[in-house]
Structure 1
Amino acid sequence: MNDVKDVKPVRLALADVLSLGTVGLRTRRMRAVLSALGIAVGIATMVAVTAIPESNERALMDELAALGPNLLQVNAADNPEQDFGLPAESIEMVRRIGPVTSVTAVANTHAVVRRSDLTDPRDGSGLSVLAARPDLLGTLEAGLHSGHFLDRAGGEFPTVVLGSVAASRLGIPSVPSHAPPPQIMIDKSWFAVVGVLATTPLSPEIDRSVLVGWEAARAELGFDGRPTVLYLRAREAAIESVRAVLPATVHPAEPSRVRVTLPSDALFAKRATEQTFSVLFVGLAAVALLVGGIGVANTMVISVLERRSEIGLRRALGANRGQIRIQFLTESVVLSALGGTAGTALGIAGSAAYATYHDLPVVIPALAVAGSLGGAVVVGVIAGVYPSIRAARLAPTVALASA
């Protein structure tokens, strides 16, 4: 026995370690598949809850880039029901701010719009009649669904452009190109509908409005020329500086009654809510991964108990405790890595399918993929520590006797 103890064990090559470490997986395939499945579910969930929000964020950023995150709205009201109007010269005052690239305005005329003169005069359909300047469309970067907008010449005549919601409520989804334009009644005057706007995501109040030319509102509706809301665009790098000076610029006498908002903030708030749910889902995925790791550890403990004769024989033939530990630790890591690889592939496929179905850009974060694979290996190492130590502590005589 002393001669056996003095024999220096042969160092195992990497190929030998992998061969020995996968013996249990090759001989007990169904058990290995079921154990790896727990890891795969956790990893697939982690990839999906990381990639899907990334696709949503990319779509949101593309939308903001198209709409422009540099749009500011100056609301001349303490609340939407009590607008007091801004000074008529406020538009030109804002235009003088250096970083401002464009500015326009609308004003509430407090008029009532009806589909025809047969409609109850008290029924305004919940729509606002706004006096609008000709450059409104360009500043909002809005589009037309049909017809044309209020140009400087047409703005003096009794013509209107409908927001998308207003058009639906009034039963005028589009303006015919080769027929007389439909007409609506505002107060006691008839106006021809010359255009219908596409949806304006950053300015939903425009969707619910009937837009009248600035000068036509003066002539037909008794509009006093004072704007209610200003829309302006400024250089993105200076947006916060412009936002800070707007109240005093717009209404020097009562700057506290001026509210300045960044419409894209609402979209960012929505994104923050989505991120909160993403954190929750990541936590659930981590729990699933933990359960999978416990399953792997349980499988390895059972494997040690079933393979005591193999362990005793190897120890008797000269394998030391370190080689036994590395054999079972390798088996645990390989099992988890296989589950992690399958889970990563499943998560990528599921995320791509979701993004494609919802017409979102497919974004698979490389860090998430690498982290998932690395996490699977870490789980394998942790799950294999106790079983490998237990296997290494088995004495050869005890292991062979219990076989």
Structure 2
Amino acid sequence: MTTPAAPPRTTTRRPRRRIDGPVRPVRLAPRDLLSLGLLGLRTRRLRAALSALGISIGVATMVVVTGIPASSQRALMDEISALGSDMLRVQPFQGEGAQARLPEESVDMVRRIGPVTGVSAVANTHAEVQRSDLVGGEDFSGAGLSVLAARRDLLDVVGGKVLSGRYFDAADERFPTAVLGHKAAHRLGIGEIPATGPAPEVRIGRAWFTVIGVLHSVPLSSDLDNAVLTGWPAARRLLRFEGNPTVLYVKAREEHLEDVRRVLPATVFPEQPGQVQVSRPSDALAAKRATRNTFSSLFLGLAGIALLVGGVGVANTMVISVLERRRDIGLRRALGATRGHIRVQFLTESVALSLLGALAGILLGVLAAVGYAAHQHWPVVIPPLPLAGGCLSAVLIGMAAGVYPSLRAARLPPTEALASA
């Protein structure tokens, strides 16, 4: 019996898959792009630190050359403001036959003017002051001293300070209490106000007033140095004071000071505005404005120079950084990386390197500016514009400096990129 022959074996081939259209390249996730861009910073830390150093120096220079002059400007502006560059003095016209008196409600009327930031008043009571008790065997007289009714907010407006004791509060101004100007206290033989025990007294008119405070010299209003101040309600009750202010002290925003000066006469005395005198803005205001304009021009010039120096440093370091890594570019191209991958990798690295350098430069610049301002006893001022401008300019310049070399390297064939390394 014969065995039937086995059927011939047939080999089945799988049909080849046809690819219709171009092959889509693999897209990297943002996390992978960030990790790939930071790879050069992690593996070449010294080179990255040296590259970021140029960026840091440029940004730090910009912060320092703007922060230190800004602190100096603020200190100078504070000194000029202390000279009364924002204050006006209002009083009735002083002349032959002048009988104008400011109305009682003039303080409230001036306070309604928009740019006004503060207003206070004093009034001459025309009372006489004396101290007849013997102090050290000497009789102290108050001849030549003026007795002024003062409001509680007077020191805030004129920039006065208490040397000893205290100023009027809501209770003190209703009782027979007095605060002496710096020279008036010396004339009356009154120095430091005791914290405990009986306080010195002065006789004003027919009443005795307890002295509760002595003022420092007031540079903005020297007439207060020779004055004996009493509370406004107490003066009306005890000194037969009618309540009409003699002098108004007005503080306003400096940019609107001239406008406030023009409307003050009609506001204070609508019936006869010509009978009201308003002081002119002090020369300190003109000096302050000229100084501000000069410093603004200086800031722009220094910031522009520092930004230019920083930009050159960023471009130089980023171009060298990209050119030194052409071999890495060729190797990645040989392993299948596309030109887009190369461009995005180096763009990410450029932005990261520039941002890290900018942040380090801001920190160094702020520390240097704060330290110098503290050493000079200036107020610390760090303009926010150089901080934001330093980061933005460093990133933009880093991108511009890193994109072009990476584009050029991405166009090279892998073999040529490896051979040129």
User: Using a 3 Å threshold, how does the CA distance of structure 1 residues 180 and 254 change in structure 2: closer, same or farther?
Assistant: same
TM-score normalised by length of structure 1: 0.58
Residue matched to 1:186: none
Aligned to 1:90: 102
- The corresponding residue for 1:324 is 342
Q: Show CA shifts across 1:28-80 (max 9, x none).
A: 323322332333344456667579969x98xx99xx9xxxxx98631567xxx
- Map of 2:355 onto structure 1: 337
**Alpha carbons of 1:87 and 1:143: their partners in 2 closer, same or farther (altered >3 Å)?**
farther
Query: 8 Å contact 1:76–1:83 — kept in the other structure?
Result: no
1:335 and 1:250 map into 2 onto residues whose CA distance is 67
Which of residues 315, 325, 330 is equivalent to 1:297? Answer: 315
Kindly indicate whether residue 116 of structure 2 is the aligned counterpart of residue 105 of structure 1.
Answer: no
Deviations 1:198-241 (A, max 9, x none): 576xx722487211469xxxxxxxxxx9976323699xxxx999
| Secondary structure at the counterpart of residue 330 of structure 1 | helix
The residue that corresponds to 1:210 in the other structure is 226
| d(CA) in 2 for partners of 1:241, 1:208 | 27
**Backbone CA RMSD of aligned residues:** 5.9
Are residue 389 (structure 1) and residue 407 (structure 2) matched? yes
Amino acid at match of 2:277: V
Q: 1:389 to 1:25 in 2, by over 3 A?
A: same
**CA apart distance, 1:315:** 2.9
* Cα separation, 2, equivalents of 1:168 and 1:35: 68
Give the Cα separation in 1 of the matches to 2:96 and 2:335.
95
Structure showing greater Rg: 2
Aligned 8 A contact 2:104 2:245 in 1:
no
Tell me the equivalent position of 1:39: 55
The CA deviation string for residues 276-326 of structure 1, in whole angstroms up to 9 with x for no partner, is 636744653454344333223212222333233322333334333332222
Within 1, Cα distance between the matches of 2:357 and 2:154? 53
* Structure 2: distance between partners of 1:387 and 1:372: 23
In structure 1, distance between residues paired with 2:189 and 2:420: 87
Change (3 A) 1:92 1:138: same
* 8 A Cα contact 1:137 1:143, kept in partner: no
**Deviations along 1:76-125, whole A, 9 cap, x unmatched?**
67xxxx98897452243736848569753356x9xxxxxx9x9xxxxxxx
Secondary structure of the residue aligned to 1:258 is strand
Q: Distance in 2 between matches of 1:339 and 1:355?
A: 24
Where 1:299 maps in the other structure, the secondary structure is helix
Deviations 1:154-188 (A, max 9, x none): 69xxx87114x8879999763345578599xxxxx
- How many Å separate the matches in 2 of 1:180 and 1:399? 94
Match of 2:278 among 237, 241, 259: 259
Structure 1 unaligned residues grouped into runs of 5+? 1-5, 65-69, 110-115, 119-127, 184-191, 215-224
Q: When the two structures are superposed, what TM-score results if normalisation uses the length of structure 2? A: 0.56
> For the residues of structure 2 that align with 1:139 and 1:348, how far apart are their CA atoms?
39
Who is 1:13 aligned against?
Answer: 29
Equivalent in the alignment of 2:131:
none
* Aligned length, in residue pairs: 342
Secondary structure of the equivalent of 2:26? coil
Instruction: State the alpha-carbon separation in 1 of the partners of residues 190 and 331 from structure 2.
Output: 88
Aligned match for 1:196, one of 214, 225, 229: 214
User: Quick check: 2:41–2:48 contact (8 Å CA) kept in 1?
Assistant: yes
Distance between the aligned counterparts of 2:92 and 2:285, measured in 1?
22
Question: 1:273, 1:73 → 2: CA distance?
Answer: 24
Residue of structure 1 in register with 2:193 after alignment? 175
For 1:301 and 1:169, how far apart are their aligned partners in 2?
Answer: 78
How far residue 336 of structure 1 moved from its aligned partner, in angstroms, is 0.5
Aligned-pair identity (%): 48
8 Å Cα contact 2:264/2:278 also seen in 1: no
After superposition, the Cα gap between the structure-2 partners of 1:397 and 1:233, relative to the gap in structure 1 and judged at 3 Å, is: closer
Higher normalized helix content (fraction of residues) = 1
- Indicate how the Cα distance of structure 1 residues 296 and 148 shifts in structure 2: closer, same or farther if over 3 A, else same: closer
Tell me the secondary structure at the aligned position of residue 337 of structure 2: coil
Alignment partners' CA distance in 1, 2:30 and 2:167: 74
Amino acid at match of 2:181: L
CA contact (8 A) 2:318 2:350 kept: yes
Deviations 1:341-382 (A, max 9, x none): 3234445666777899969799996x8766654444323212
